[in-house]
């Protein structure tokens, strides 16, 4: 069955598509055809066909890269204070989120499967940098195993669901189920301990596209969602307040603290902080800063967290975010 009224450009592109043997070029041309095609009921079928072809070619070219001398997709070198992966169904808004929170560029588009390789970017949060990684969608079709490997290594999972669709609850279950198939179990923050072969991943659930009028009715239901055990927040790339709130939530989700150091008799210097896990004691912190000094340490003085203005604390004191410590031997 031939859909009516396809413009001449479309057929020209289709010819080029048949003639080229280059996979990347084929993908580009299919995208072009998709863009040229008038969007109505008569072309729905064909649109679907093109999208499937694009996804298939992308997964093929991915396989080639993995086997060939291309970059190692199984592992993204860690940078900054933590590694956070963006996980969700096709079209859930992962690439748009990456671009909003970092300076990285990742293709975002209104058709599914637009991302086919991992794209890392650095997000500034106050005085530290946090690494975000955009990933191809997790879905029943075409999710390559390296995607799950990257998720397994991350410190925090941002699980995205598109609130502009009434299917968001199904999408949520679907994504969680796919991850479980690959032995990844999403948990509350701070529960990254592996149990046997199952990787437990601290998770923050994010409902996206709240600015879309279609999201209106779903936001309320989403907030009161009680099937999941992890923290929940909402997001829109067009809402600066939500952008900031998400950054804050990511920082909290990583369960890290920043500490600064001070030398006796000198002024406080807000240099680059040391980033340590939540729950670190003064002694453990000192070991990271200066091992020999730590071993000789008798006590520390502390500034910060309102209560402290140079008071003496013992080695087992638990450091708070933004504390300034001065080691005394
Ligand atoms: N209104 C609105 N649209 C959004 C928002 N975030 C993403 N979109 C749109 O949703 C579509 C999909 O966004 P992407 O960022 O490409 O989604 P993705 O999850 O990376 O998709 P895949 O790579 O295919 O898995 C695009 O048309 C975006 O412009 C948002 O906050 N508000
Ligand atoms: Mg994407």
Q: What is the pLDDT of residue 259?
A: 93
CB 133 within 8 A of CB 95: no
- Find the mean pLDDT for residues 137-161: 89
DSSP codes of every residue in 101-164? HSS------SSS----S-EEEEEEETTEEEEEEE-----SS---HHHHHHHHH-SEEEEEEETT
Partners of 87 in beta bridges: 159
Percent of the chain topping pLDDT 90: 53
193/214: higher pLDDT: 214
* Cα 95 to ligand 1 centre (Å): 7
Give yes or no for residue 108 CB within 6 A of ligand 1.
yes
Tell me how far apart the alpha carbons of residues 148 and 135 are, in angstroms, rounded to a whole number: 10
Rounded mean pLDDT of the chain?
87
Q: Which residue has the tokens 């030398």?
A: 263
**Ligand 1 mean position, distance from CA 34 (Å):** 17
Atom of ligand 1 nearest to the CA of 137: 25
Closest C-alpha to ligand 1, atom 27:
110
For residue 161, how far is its CA from the centre of ligand 1 (angstroms)? Answer: 11
Residue nearest atom 30 of ligand 1, based on CA coordinates: 209
Output the residue whose Cα is nearest ligand 1's atom 12. Answer: 91
Q: What is the mean pLDDT of residues 143-159?
A: 91
Distance 95 CA to ligand 2 centre (A): 4
- Helix, strand, coil shares of the chain, percent, nearest 5, are 40, 25, 40
Contact 109 CB / ligand 1 (< 6 Å): yes
| Domains of the chain, CATH where assigned | 8-67 (no CATH), 83-254 (3.40.50.300), 256-328 (3.10.20.30)
Quote the CA–CA distance of 139 and 293 in Å, as a whole number.
51
Ligand 1 geometric centre to CA of 196 (Å): 36
Closest CA to ligand 1's atom 4: 209
Return d(Cα 302, Cα 308) in angstroms, integer: 6
Give the separation between CA 134 and CA 191, rounded to whole angstroms: 22
Residue nearest to atom 8 of ligand 1 (CA): 93
Task: Compute the average pLDDT of residues 261-282.
Answer: 87
Residue 114 Cβ contacting ligand 1 at under 6 Å? yes
Q: Check residue 201 and give its pLDDT.
A: 92
**Model confidence band, residue 141 (pLDDT cutoffs 50, 70, 90):** confident
- Rounded to the nearest angstrom, the distance between the alpha carbon of 87 and the centre of ligand 2 is 10
List pLDDT tens digits, range 292-328. Answer: 889 999 999 998 867 788 899 999 999 999 999 999 9
Q: pLDDT (tens digit, 9 = 90+) per residue, 52-88?
A: 888 888 877 766 555 544 455 677 888 999 999 999 9
**Ligand 1 within 6 A of CB of 112:** yes
Q: Would you state the structure tokens that stand for residue 313, as one six-digit string?
A: 């604390």
Ligand closest in space to the Cα of 207 = 1
| CA-proximal residue: ligand 1, atom 25 (nearest) | 90
111 Cα: distance to centroid of ligand 1 (angstroms): 9
């Amino acid at each position: 069955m031939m859909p009516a009224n396809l413009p001449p450009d479309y057929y020209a592109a289709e010819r080029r598509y048949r003639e080229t043997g280059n996979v990347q070029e084929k993908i580009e041309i299919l995208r072009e055809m998709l863009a040229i095609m008038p969007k109505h009921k008569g072309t729905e079928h064909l649109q679907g066909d093109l999208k499937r072809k694009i996804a298939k070619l992308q997964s093929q070219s991915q396989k080639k890269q993995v086997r060939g001398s291309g970059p190692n997709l199984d592992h993204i070198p860690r940078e900054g204070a933590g590694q956070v992966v963006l996980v969700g169904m096709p079209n859930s808004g992962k690439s748009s989120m990456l671009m909003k929170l970092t300076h990285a560029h990742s293709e975002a588009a209104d058709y599914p499967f637009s991302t086919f390789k991992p794209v890392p970017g650095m997000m500034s949060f106050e005085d530290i940098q946090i690494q975000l990684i955009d990933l191809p969608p997790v879905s029943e079709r075409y999710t390559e195993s390296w995607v799950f490997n990257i998720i397994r290594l991350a410190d925090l999972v941002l699980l995205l669901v598109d609130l502009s669709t009434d299917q968001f609850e199904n999408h949520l279950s679907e994504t969680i189920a796919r991850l479980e198939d690959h032995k990844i179990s999403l948990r509350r923050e701070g529960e990254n301990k592996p149990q046997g072969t199952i990787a437990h991943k601290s998770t923050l659930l994010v409902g996206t596209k709240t600015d879309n009028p279609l999201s209106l009715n779903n936001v309320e239901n989403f907030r009161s969602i009680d099937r999941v055990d992890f923290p929940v927040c909402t997001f829109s790339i067009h809402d600066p307040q939500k952008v900031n709130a998400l950054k804050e939530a990511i920082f909290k989700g990583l369960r890290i603290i920043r500490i600064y150091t001070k030398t006796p008799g000198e002024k406080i210097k807000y240099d680059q902080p040391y980033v340590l896990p939540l729950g670190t004691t003064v002694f453990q912190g000192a070991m990271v800063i200066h091992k020999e000094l730590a071993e000789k340490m008798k006590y520390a003085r502390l500034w910060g967290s309102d209560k402290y203005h140079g008071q003496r604390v013992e080695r087992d004191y638990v450091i708070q975010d933004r504390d300034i410590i001065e080691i005394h031997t």
